[in-house]
């Protein structure tokens, strides 16, 4: 056991950064390659936001959001090949990606009661994965708040233009709003996530920053896997 009570060979990889830097793609691939579990904490904040909207709770009313935040039952499946998220037993993996949820999620995730509830669930998932070798956890505050003693901490970054181009490439049909509108929405969400009082988006002091603007996804995955393997070797020697 280590000082956090996890088996000594368990690995926790924390991957933080703003939208469109490659957190989800990188985290899933790294977890698959290294045989680890995978947790998308952004999906949990989105699921909480989806539930608020579905229950006519105004995301802009922090008191109403705080009061209701204990009600929905959230469950995250941590298989990197098929991650799942459900609320009150219903699969919400599609609806949590809607424009309505994306526009409201920063307000909901700034409410301290929402964060304390979800951080507790996230730490439970980390603890449960420890006996299965460990986990890759992605979000905004993993290295700073959720798992400050993570084995490896990564902060992914990229230019707003590259991030907007990537995100815009994913939108089709009526959802395709154009790169400029996508960039503006991303920058607005970054500002809200970085500016909130409770565990804002931030690079942990001991995180390794990777700028993915000019890297392929494979190069980013290789860099992260390399860092985890190096850390494992150092730990075995230490
Ligand atoms: N290094 C990269 N180069 C080009 N496209 C990338 C890169 N990393 C991720 N992508 C693409 O950008 C989009 C957003 O990636 P994603 O992993 O969802 O980012 P995040 O989780 O940080 O929002 C996806 O379509 C993904 O395939
Ligand atoms: N650990 C986390 C993860 C997400 N979030 C919030 O959840 C939102 C959605 O996260 P996400 O990872 O799904 O966002 P994308 O970058 O994938 O669009 C973020 O904009 C944050 O407001 C957070 O506050 N803390």
User: Above 60 in pLDDT, residue 67?
Assistant: yes
Report percent pLDDT > 90 for the chain. 84
Establish whether this prediction's ipTM goes over 0.95.
yes
Which among 9-13, 142-146, 171-175, 189-193 has the top mean pLDDT?
142-146
What pLDDT, in 10s, does the model give residues 95-138? 999 999 999 999 999 999 999 999 999 999 999 999 889 999 99
What is the 164 CA–ligand 1 centroid distance (Å)? 10
Residue ranges around ligand 2 (CB below 6 Å):
19, 41-43, 45-46, 105-106, 109, 139-141, 189, 193
Q: How high does pLDDT run on average in the chain?
A: 94
Coil/strand/helix, residue 179: helix
Which residue's CA is minimally distant from atom 10 of ligand 2?
42
CA distance 76 to 43: 9
What pLDDT, in 10s, does the model give residues 113-122? 999 999 999 9
Ligand 1 proximity of 170 Cβ (cutoff 6 Å): yes
What is the 54 CA–ligand 1 centroid distance (Å)? 29
Which tokens sit at 177?
């709003």
Q: How confident is the model at residue 91 (pLDDT cuts 50, 70, 90)?
A: very high
Question: So where are the chain's domains?
Answer: 11-231
User: Above 80 in pLDDT, residue 175?
Assistant: no
pTM score: 0.96
3-state secondary structure 80-149: CCCCEEEECCEECCCHHHCHHHHHHHHHHHCCHHHHHHHHHHHHHHHHHHHCCCEEEEEECCHHHHHCCC
pLDDT at 4 (0 to 100) = 66
Q: CATH number for the 11-231 domain, one of 3.40.50.300, 3.30.2000.20, 2.40.30.10, 1.10.10.10? A: 3.40.50.300
Kindly state the average pLDDT of the residues 193-209. Answer: 95
CA distance 111 to 162: 30
């Amino acid at each position: 056991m280590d000082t956090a009570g996890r088996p000594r060979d368990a690995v926790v990889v924390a991957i933080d950064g703003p939208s469109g830097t490659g957190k989800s793609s990188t985290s899933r691939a790294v977890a698959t390659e290294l045989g680890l579990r995978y947790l998308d904490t952004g999906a949990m904040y989105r699921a909480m936001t989806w539930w608020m909207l579905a229950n006519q709770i105004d995301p802009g009313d922090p008191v109403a959001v705080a009061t209701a935040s204990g009600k929905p039952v959230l469950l995250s499946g941590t298989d990197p090949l098929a991650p799942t998220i459900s609320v009150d037993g219903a699969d919400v993996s599609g609806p949590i990606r809607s424009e309505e949820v994306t526009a409201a999620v920063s307000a909901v995730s700034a409410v301290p009661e929402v964060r304390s509830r979800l951080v507790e669930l996230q730490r439970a998932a980390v603890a449960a994965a420890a006996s299965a070798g460990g986990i890759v956890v992605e979000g905004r505050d993993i290295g700073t708040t959720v798992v400050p003693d993570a084995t490896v901490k990564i902060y992914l970054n990229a230019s707003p233009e590259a991030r907007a181009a990537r995100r815009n490439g994913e939108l089709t049909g009526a959802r395709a709003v154009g790169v400029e509108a996508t960039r503006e929405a991303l920058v607005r969400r970054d500002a809200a996530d970085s500016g909130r009082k409770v565990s804002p988006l931030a690079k942990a002091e001991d995180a390794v920053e990777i700028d993915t603007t000019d890297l392929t996804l494979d190069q980013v995955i290789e860099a992260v896997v390399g860092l985890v393997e190096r850390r494992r070797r150092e730990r075995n020697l230490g």
